[in-house]
Structure 1
Amino acid sequence: MYDVKRLSLLQDLSMLGTLSAVAEVNGVTASAVSQQLKTLEDEAGVDLLVRDGRRVRLTSAGDLLVEHAAEVLAALERARGAVAALQDEVAGEVTVAAYPSILAPVGSRLAVAVRERHPGVTVRLAETDASRAMPAVIRREIDAALVLRYPDDGDAVVPGVRTRRLFDEQFVAIVPEALGGVVLHGGLGVLGRDRWIIGAPTLPCTRSILSACRTAGFTPDVQHEGIGYLAAIQLVGAGLGVAVVPELSAQVLPDGVVAVPCDVPRRQVALAYRDGAQGHPVTHALLDVAVEVGRRLRTRPLFAGAAG
């Protein structure tokens, strides 16, 4: 019989790609992970891993076992939920992590709404990023994560994780007030000669913004790079350039600066959680409230100060 912990390590490896990364997140040595996975191979009777440079790649048998491991772990989640459902009230703690740009505007709304709807449930918020969110959900370090999806992400499925789409967020150009109407009617192309402030080039949001600029017919003159959204807005206020940020990040603007909707493809905000956990009363309550919060954000403008 396969050991659940070893199956979990194999699942971690399928996401993280290296034994050292799996070891780090599990608080053990790489050699200990290697030994556990070797034992799992012996139990399976087939090769599950193959070396690919400094990384380890799963064989077809390894990929198949990860799929079944996800089903096993989901069954355990359903069992936990069934036992918890025997209680008379919905009560407990749930940890929700989020990317910095949506932690406050969405996470706070979610925590408050859960508290109002289910007084016995406490939502604890934590910060995460794209590389840590899904592994943390699977390893039960957090219960759910507010995650972002971009048009170029495709339909990648993470075994053992489900996502619930909440709403789509538009991007806005942050420009001096005098340019607001010009950008609103002319689009991003009118900013082709301006100085730009952008985030780290490796981030999917930055790639999406740069792609939209190329579609508009220009390559931005980047003067300040690797800048977070809130800092970028302040730099625009200081007269150092223009920027594009997600709408949720543009709720407070310096004097003389406006946010204008622009032609950068919207990104999707979703809630990721462990497959099978949706039957747990606390997780079920969280999902219901998250869907309602997403509905409210979809049906009303988040930013009322765009130039018009």
Structure 2
Amino acid sequence: MYDIRRLVLLRDLAEHTTMTAVSELHGITTSAVSQQLRILEEEVGAVLTRREGRVLRLTHAGRVLVDHTARVVAALEEAESAVAATGESVTGVLTLATFQTALTRVALPVVARLRREHQDLRVRVVDAMPVNSVPAVRQQEVDLAITYNYSFRARDLPTGLSSEYLFDDPLVLLAPAPLREEIRQHGLSAASDVDWIAAADGAPSVASVMFACRQAGFTPRIEHRCGTFTGMAEMVDAGFGVAVVPEMVVSDAHRHLVTGPVANGARQIGVTYRQASLERPAVASAIRALRMVAAPLRLVS
């Protein structure tokens, strides 16, 4: 019988393509990864990888084994979940990842509800952006992740993961006082000749700015860069320009800057989890709590 830990190493090599990446992922040396994969090849009796330049690719035998590994790992977790479901109470440790702007409005109320309803359950919260939290769910480093996806972008999840929609977080335009009324009357095109504030190139929120402005018929002149939405709001308030931000991040102190929603723009907030963990009482309870917390937010959005 093949060793499941070695199978997982091969699966991760298929995704990350280098021994170094797999070693960092598992916290072991590259030589240990290489040794375990050599042992796996001996057990299988076939070559599983081949080198292409600086990366490793799977052979046909390696791809077949990785396909089966996904089903094996899922079956093991389903068995664990089924056994846990036989208990009379929800116990153990549940790890919930959340991006920072969902911490106060979503994650903390969910944790509070779980603590009230399941006193024997320990809940851990991890601050992580979806680009990191979704792989962490797949690697079983966290149980669930509160994630977002911009409405104009499709989402592809790795095999074995599912995502449930919770609510929309509309995108809004922030503008200093002299511009707000003009933008309200004439739409986003009224901001075509002003300076824009945005995150660094490559950030998901930059794509939202470009999409909104293209819809309005112009390319924004991004003059200032800022790593936080709160910082963007402060810069708008100081007269540096305009910015598009999710409504959920706008504090009471900056509410006066909101000119209105951006057409066809929203962050779709959801929860991502492993399909095989759904029967686990702690995971099922957390998803129910997320639905309860999201219900009023869905009505607002």
TM-score with structure 1 setting the length: 0.87
- How far the C-alpha of 1:107 sits from its partner, in A, is 1.4
Aligned partner of residue 289 in structure 1, secondary structure:
helix
For 1:60 and 1:106, locate their aligned partners in 2 and report how far apart those are by CA, in whole Å. Answer: 44
- How far the C-alpha of 1:37 sits from its partner, in A, is 2.7
- How far the C-alpha of 1:181 sits from its partner, in A, is 4.0
- How far the C-alpha of 1:163 sits from its partner, in A, is 2.0
Q: Kindly indicate whether the alpha-carbon contact (under 8 Å) linking 1:17 and 1:55 is maintained by their aligned counterparts in 2.
A: yes
Corresponding residue for residue 275 of structure 2: 275
TM-score with structure 2 setting the length: 0.88
Aligned partner of residue 140 in structure 2, secondary structure:
coil
Corresponding residue for residue 122 of structure 1: 122
Q: Kindly indicate whether the alpha-carbon contact (under 8 Å) linking 1:201 and 1:226 is maintained by their aligned counterparts in 2.
A: no
Q: Kindly indicate whether the alpha-carbon contact (under 8 Å) linking 1:173 and 1:261 is maintained by their aligned counterparts in 2.
A: yes
With over 3 angstroms needed to count, the CA separation of the structure-2 counterparts of 1:44 and 1:191, relative to structure 1, is farther
Corresponding residue for residue 54 of structure 1: 54
- How far the C-alpha of 1:72 sits from its partner, in A, is 1.2
Question: Is 1:199 the equivalent of 2:199?
Answer: yes
Question: Is 1:9 the equivalent of 2:9?
Answer: yes
Alignment of 1:152-301 (within 5 A): 153-254=153-254, 256-263=256-263, 265-301=265-301
For 2:46 and 2:94, locate their aligned partners in 1 and report how far apart those are by CA, in whole Å. Answer: 39
For 2:38 and 2:165, locate their aligned partners in 1 and report how far apart those are by CA, in whole Å. Answer: 38
For 2:130 and 2:33, locate their aligned partners in 1 and report how far apart those are by CA, in whole Å. Answer: 24
- Unaligned stretches of 5+ in structure 1? 302-308
- Unaligned stretches of 5+ in structure 2? none
- How far the C-alpha of 1:268 sits from its partner, in A, is 2.0
Structure 1 range deviating more: 163-172 or 62-71: 62-71
For 1:22 and 1:103, locate their aligned partners in 2 and report how far apart those are by CA, in whole Å. Answer: 30
With over 3 angstroms needed to count, the CA separation of the structure-2 counterparts of 1:11 and 1:192, relative to structure 1, is same
Q: Kindly indicate whether the alpha-carbon contact (under 8 Å) linking 1:184 and 1:261 is maintained by their aligned counterparts in 2.
A: no
Q: Kindly indicate whether the alpha-carbon contact (under 8 Å) linking 1:78 and 1:279 is maintained by their aligned counterparts in 2.
A: yes
Q: Kindly indicate whether the alpha-carbon contact (under 8 Å) linking 1:172 and 1:247 is maintained by their aligned counterparts in 2.
A: yes
- How far the C-alpha of 1:256 sits from its partner, in A, is 4.8
For 2:119 and 2:186, locate their aligned partners in 1 and report how far apart those are by CA, in whole Å. Answer: 49
Q: Kindly indicate whether the alpha-carbon contact (under 8 Å) linking 1:67 and 1:159 is maintained by their aligned counterparts in 2.
A: no
Alignment of 1:137-156 (within 5 A): 137-151=137-151, 153-156=153-156
For 1:48 and 1:151, locate their aligned partners in 2 and report how far apart those are by CA, in whole Å. Answer: 40
Corresponding residue for residue 35 of structure 2: 35
Q: Kindly indicate whether the alpha-carbon contact (under 8 Å) linking 2:152 and 2:265 is maintained by their aligned counterparts in 1.
A: no
Aligned partner of residue 170 in structure 1, secondary structure:
strand
Q: Kindly indicate whether the alpha-carbon contact (under 8 Å) linking 1:93 and 1:123 is maintained by their aligned counterparts in 2.
A: yes
With over 3 angstroms needed to count, the CA separation of the structure-2 counterparts of 1:190 and 1:25, relative to structure 1, is same
Corresponding residue for residue 94 of structure 1: 94
Percent sequence identity is 36
Counterpart amino acid of 2:138?
A: I
Q: Kindly indicate whether the alpha-carbon contact (under 8 Å) linking 2:114 and 2:286 is maintained by their aligned counterparts in 1.
A: yes
Q: Kindly indicate whether the alpha-carbon contact (under 8 Å) linking 1:137 and 1:145 is maintained by their aligned counterparts in 2.
A: yes
With over 3 angstroms needed to count, the CA separation of the structure-2 counterparts of 1:5 and 1:291, relative to structure 1, is same
Number of residue pairs matched by the alignment: 301
- How far the C-alpha of 1:294 sits from its partner, in A, is 2.5
Corresponding residue for residue 306 of structure 1: none
For 1:30 and 1:100, locate their aligned partners in 2 and report how far apart those are by CA, in whole Å. Answer: 33
CA RMSD of aligned residues (A): 2.4
With over 3 angstroms needed to count, the CA separation of the structure-2 counterparts of 1:13 and 1:229, relative to structure 1, is farther
With over 3 angstroms needed to count, the CA separation of the structure-2 counterparts of 1:84 and 1:78, relative to structure 1, is same
Q: Kindly indicate whether the alpha-carbon contact (under 8 Å) linking 2:198 and 2:232 is maintained by their aligned counterparts in 1.
A: yes
